[in-house]
Amino acid sequence: MREILEKCLEAARLCGAQFAEARFVDLTNESYEVRNGRPAQCLSSTSRGLGVRVIAGGAWGFSSTSRVEDAASAEKIAADAVKIARASAIVAGEPVRLAPNPPGRGAYKTPCEEDPLKVGVEEKLGMLADAELRLHSPELRVTQAFMTIVRKITSYANSEGRGFDQEITESGAGIAATAVRDSDFQVRSYPNSFRGNFATAGFEYVRGLDLAGNAERVAAEARQLLDAPVCPSGKRDVILDGGQLGLQVHESIGHPIELDRVLGSEADFAGTSFLTTEKLGNFQYGSEHVNVVADATEPGGLGTFGFDDEGTPARRVPIIEAGRFVGYISDRESAARLGLPSAGAARASSWNRIPIVRMTNINLLPGKWELGDLIADTDGGLFMATNRSWSIDDRRLNFQFGTEIAWEIEGGKLGRIYRNPTYTGITPEFWNSCDAVCSAKHWRMWGTPNCGKGQPGQTAHVGHGAAPARFRNVRIGVVR
């Protein structure tokens, strides 16, 4: 494949490209589901192809094909990419500039104790069937167990002498129970909603989730929610569990810090960001307890890799230090606009998509609290767990989340549960109301495999490290 990549670069150069990069991607995806005691959606998919991105006439062009066998196809898409770039130059602004990325070659492979693609179908389905069976109980109309395995192999080369070979392996699984009565239904999930949790890891990650061991609790909580009162309205102190907090980080920190969004690249589609460039180093994003990094080197995260899709080596970038906003995530083009090095966050979902600024692992660093002590220190509050719904405006300021369940906290103790819990807020006000983050003992990586951005659409797999944290005086119970 390396030879084909070089042919692409040479063809682009001969057509007049000032810069060219070629990327081959071979994707394998296995998806299994057991639903109501029966197999469902058991699929094995592969997709491979080649994409070439160039700068010609100071503007970008990209073309891609699934025909990777012959050099002629490769050379044709390189020529097409240059032609498209010249069309871009019809409506050109300043010529594209890229932050430097020194030449060099590298390789990376996800640490993987047990290759998930070599684990037999019977064992995978058996594991799911066992967990799903344990969910069965009265009033549970839909019971599900899921498993997802992904392998993404990338070979990359650019005209500046940068290249890499990379193999990313992801594993994930989860269970969900839907209890139905009259005109209401309630869902409980483990370890997270929307098909579970995911990691860059081998099958050992799936084994470690112990789906079967959590099934009875999940089923019982789904049933109990049918009898629970609706979440009250008002303002309360709220403790969010790690899974919900991971999505809170995703929507109200991860997206606003995308520098391409800040510069307007997504204005017509995914939106912009309130985090305009004059705020860099000068904005109190959160309280002193809020420390956030973008860390593609964190083991196990869905945003963990060796190289981003421009060949920039994985980095750990400070984003928020003691509440102060100190860094964006960026690619080579957006970073150059601010005179900064790339944050190594250029990611493409597959061979037929260009790299754009995407989250890596956006991690809220752990604090010092034990979860039990934090609950004991809270009165008249709620402990909210597992995301059910999310929405945020196009500048990433006004959010509203729903969770599957909430426990009342009275006198420092968890009490009764509430159904349909919701909370809402404004991003900086919310993060400045954070007065406690739990310790590394409670901190874990949460995988988000469905982050949408870009046109044509791209779905990114990103990670969020989080431990439960407390927020003061939050508006709850928006849906009554």
Partner 1 sequence: MIGRNEIGRMLAAALDALRKAGADQGHAECVCGAIALTRFADNRIHQNVAEEGARVSMIAAAGRKLGGAATNRTDAKGFADAAERAVTIAKRQADDPDFPGFKEWPEASELPEAFDAETAGMSADSRARIAQRAAEYAKARDVAAYGAVKTGGGELAVANTSGTFQYFAGSSIGASCTGMIAGAAGSEGHGARAISIIGDSVAKFGMLAVDTALKAREPKECGDGEWPVVLSPRAVGELLRFLSWLGFNARSHQEGRSCLCGKLGQKIMSDLVTVIDDGLSLDGQPLPFDSEGAPRRRLTLIEKGVPRELAHDSRTAEKAGIASTGHSYGPMSYGGASPQHLFMLPGNATVDEMIASTERGLYVSRFWYTNVAEPAKGVLTGMTRDGLFLIEKGEVRHPVRNMRFTESVVEALNRVEMVGSVLANAGDEWGSGVTRCPALKMSAFRFSGATKF
- Within residues 185-244, the interface with partner 1 by CB under 8 A covers 185
Shortest gap between Cβ of 264 and partner 1 (angstroms)? 5
Q: Which two tokens stand for residue 371?
A: 């979860």
Q: Tell me the window of 1-9, 53-61, 154-162, 374-382 that interacts with partner 1 (CB under 8 A).
A: 53-61
The 8-class DSSP code of residue 39 comes to E
For residues 240 and 468, is the Cβ–Cβ distance under 8 A?
yes
3-state SS of 191-240?
A: CCCCCCEEECCCHHHHHHCCHHHHHHHHHHHHHHHHHCCECCCEEEEEEE
CA 301 – CA 105 distance, rounded (Å): 24
Q: Which of residues 153-182 bind partner 1 (CB under 8 A)?
A: 178, 180
Binding mask 356-375 for partner 1 (x = CB under 8 A): x-------------------
Q: Which of residues 91-130 bind partner 1 (CB under 8 A)?
A: 91-94, 120-122, 125, 129
Say how many residues touch partner 1, by CB under 8 A: 81
Q: Which of residues 276-305 bind partner 1 (CB under 8 A)?
A: none
Residue 112, Cβ density class (10 Å: 0-12 exposed, 13-18 middle, ≥19 buried): buried
Type of residue found at 67: R
Pick one of 3, 118, 138, 268: the residue that binds partner 1 (CB under 8 A): 268
Shortest gap between Cβ of 379 and partner 1 (angstroms)? 26
Q: Tell me the window of 168-176, 264-272, 295-303, 311-319 that interacts with partner 1 (CB under 8 A).
A: 264-272
Nearest partner of 165 among 101, 100, 105, 116, judged by Cα = 105
Q: Which of residues 305-364 bind partner 1 (CB under 8 A)?
A: 352-354, 356
Nearest partner of 214 among 188, 238, 236, 235, judged by Cα = 188
Pick one of 193, 330, 349, 422: the residue that binds partner 1 (CB under 8 A): 422
Shortest gap between Cβ of 391 and partner 1 (angstroms)? 4
**Cα dihedral across residues 240, 244, 246, 250: positive or negative:** negative
Binding mask 376-415 for partner 1 (x = CB under 8 A): -------------xxxxxxx-xx-x-x-------------
Pick one of 5, 9, 17, 84: the residue that binds partner 1 (CB under 8 A): 84
Q: How far is CA 241 from CA 133, 147, 300, 359, 383, in A?
A: 27, 23, 19, 21, 7
Residue among 44 and 473 whose Cβ is closer to partner 1? 44
For residues 342 and 327, is the Cβ–Cβ distance under 8 A?
no
Shortest gap between Cβ of 397 and partner 1 (angstroms)? 6
